[in-house]
Amino acid sequence: MQLTQLLLTGSLTGLISVLAHSAFWSGIAMMRRSERTLAHAEPPISEAVLHMLSGIALAFLFWLSWGLAALTDGRWWVRGLTFGGLCWIALALPTIASLVLGRTLDRRAGALIASRWATTALGVGLACAWTWQRAV
């Protein structure tokens, strides 16, 4: 499996997850026709870049942990969801929970950011597992 192909897949998946969340919350705001948007519903460009870089890092971790692919006899999507879920639980969830518990973020904003990072982690896991399956 080529590392560059996985890194590109991770980068694009990280960007797509932020764009999908932004489009989803824009649609919600249009349906509600509200003047006030949710806090953190519209991420800045720097957060899109951060998700792209995180997608690259997660894809590199997927490449390094090719043993995960060898240990499970499950389907590619089970492998991808397992990898993405483990990365989200280990990396994003404790950080966001500490910000919410420390009252730096309110609960709604914390849930929104947690769902955005879950989409990135699970999306990268699924995309890398599918790319890996196609190459093998």
Residues 58, 23, 130: CA angle, nearest 5 degrees: 35
Q: At what angle do helices 76-87 and 45-64 cross, to 10 degrees?
A: 120
Contacts of 92 (CB under 8 A, 6+ apart): 114, 117, 118, 121
Structure tokens that stand for 49 in this block: 């870049």
pLDDT at 74: 77
133 Cβ neighbours under 8 A, 6+ residues apart: 76
What would the pLDDT profile of 99-123 be if each residue is shown by its tens digit?
Answer: 888 888 888 888 888 888 999 999 9
pTM here?
0.84
Q: List pLDDT tens digits, range 28-69.
A: 777 877 656 565 566 778 888 999 999 999 999 998 887 566
Nearby residues of 10 by Cβ (< 8 Å), 6 or more positions away: 55, 56, 57, 58, 59, 60, 62, 124, 127, 128
